[in-house]
Structure 1
Amino acid sequence: MLPDLNDLKQWGDVLRPMLRVVLIWLLAWLALAMIRKLLRALRRHIVTRGDMHGEMHDMRRLETLMNVFRYTANVVLVGMAFMLTLGEIGISITPILATAGVAGIAIGFGAQSLVKDFFTGLFLLIENQISEGDMIDAAGKSGLVERVTLRHVRMRDYDGSVHFIPNSMITTVTNRSRGYVYAVIDISVRRQENLERVFGMMNGICEDMRHNSAFGQDILGDLDTVGVEKVEDANIGLRCRMKVRPGAQWRIRREFLRRMKGALDAQEKVQSAA
């Protein structure tokens, strides 16, 4: 018994839209996979370019831009596939688009801060002001940048608290992760101390730390002795600074002060014994 041509036509009318829907989502999946593959290839190309120590900041910036681009591509492609799917199953998207346009105008007046967030975030990325992994001060908060999006910056401070800062609130960024920083060290000594001897101790401690395997790789220059910072009734304030890698300034400062205290204590014992 031959199949009814009408039945075949009906099955064909049902299967064709389904096949087109499957094809739409398959193409969307392939496009997303291709974008991810291109981003991974770009990352590998930068990783294999040579001296990665000098390009760590570029790597962090690339990771930030890749995350934003990947998120944007997912939203755009999934949205397009969804709209095309509605068209294939017989739901007209023209009224939806018209409604979305009118609603967009109405929402735009009440979502100006959201639009400002997106534009500010875009310029933060384009101008390379913030990258994931940077230590920054922004909007009255300080900490490590964990994620940068077009909407907000997620930052974790020294106490472990996580701050979500809308990009529109960021007017000034202080970035402590660009090239090098200075570990600024203030020391208070008695007025009776021989300053030249104290300066010599400070330079000696810096040299010892530069030859120490645990600290030397983070110190990028000689000790810069600023000199006398303030004079009080019983003490004199001295200031110096050390050029170090970003993020190492606090560790270097604490170790320098620890060694300086030991040196001053040893000198005081020698003077007392004499």
Structure 2
Amino acid sequence: MNAHEWRNLLEGAWPWLRILVILVLAWASLWMIRRVLRVLKTHIISRTDEYRDSRRIETLMNVFRYTANIVIVGVAIMAILGTVGISIAPILATAGVAGIAIGFGAQSLVKDFFTGLFLLIEGQVSEGDNIEAAGKSGYVERVTLRHIRIRDYDGSVHFIPNSMITVVTNRSRDYAFAVVDLNVPRKEDLNRVFRQMEEVVRDMRADPAIGSLILDDVDMGGVEKVEDAAVGLRCRIKVLPAKQWRVRREFLRRMKSAMDTVEEVQSAA
């Protein structure tokens, strides 16, 4: 083959070589970003002691990786179109006009993205938290820039758009209180009942099965209300986050058994 034929061959193969180079560069960029995010995540998590922070970092890294994938793939597609001779200027112009038209009808979608981004950056909610938002409560299974997916106590899954979230009640931060309201007959000796409640909590803290969930002694609120036939007592127990319901149920169960024992002794006497 002479030089002219070689030149024609190279000119014919050059667009395909450029496409190959673009694909290789896109793949290398995706691999590098995943690698950098993985190293960065490991480094940040190793410098924090809280499991909650590690969950938030994991969620943010997933969002960054997803966004980077979209940007790199989009740039690669536009570069390939330009290589094969398809002008991207009309496409960009059409996309701009369409974007304006869509923007008027997709304001809630944009609000979803910005709200979701601030929810993640500020650490208001992370995967694994127990929250209440937009009138729904449950365990957070997934956090994205578009929505939050939570599963409630009976197993129902709720998808909450981020734009609907104005207040987040997070029950998985640092500690919680198991608040207990107890009604006793008016004739009961309240001091004895208070001592009984304190003894029940001490026994629970000594129990290896549940003691690790309780962080402090019972905080006795005292008399909450007085009715014709009963007196309402209130106390609270400082516990690990999201463990208040389990501790409260166990306290009520043991308190009921203790009160039954006292009644049996008084009846026998």
* Same topology, TM > 0.5: yes
Partner Cα distance (2:225, 2:145) in 1? 46
C-alpha displacement of 1:5: 5.1
- Matching residue of 1:90: 85
- Matching residue of 1:172: 167
- Matching residue of 1:14: 12
Partner Cα distance (2:71, 2:23) in 1? 13
Which amino acid counterpart does residue 165 of structure 1 have in structure 2?
I
Asked whether 1:119 is paired with 2:117, we answer no
1:7-46 equivalent positions in 2, closer than 5 A = 7-46=5-44
1:1-274 equivalent positions in 2, closer than 5 A = 3=1, 7-49=5-47, 52=49, 55-274=50-269
Partner Cα distance (1:122, 1:59) in 2? 17
Partner Cα distance (1:15, 1:204) in 2? 85
C-alpha displacement of 1:60: 1.3
Partner Cα distance (1:208, 1:26) in 2? 65
**What percentage of aligned pairs have identical amino acids?**
66
The unaligned stretches of length 5 or more in structure 1 are none
Q: TM-score, normalised by structure 2?
A: 0.95
Partner Cα distance (2:36, 2:194) in 1? 55
Aligned residues: 269
Q: TM-score, normalised by structure 1?
A: 0.93
Query: Match of 1:233, SS?
Result: coil
C-alpha displacement of 1:43: 2.7
C-alpha displacement of 1:130: 1.2
Instruction: Tell me the alpha carbon deviations over residues 73-119 of structure 1, each in whole angstroms, 9 at most, x when there is no partner.
Output: 11111111111111112211111111111111111111111111111
The unaligned stretches of length 5 or more in structure 2 are none
Cα 1:124–1:47 change in 2 (3 A) is closer
Query: Match of 2:261, SS?
Result: helix
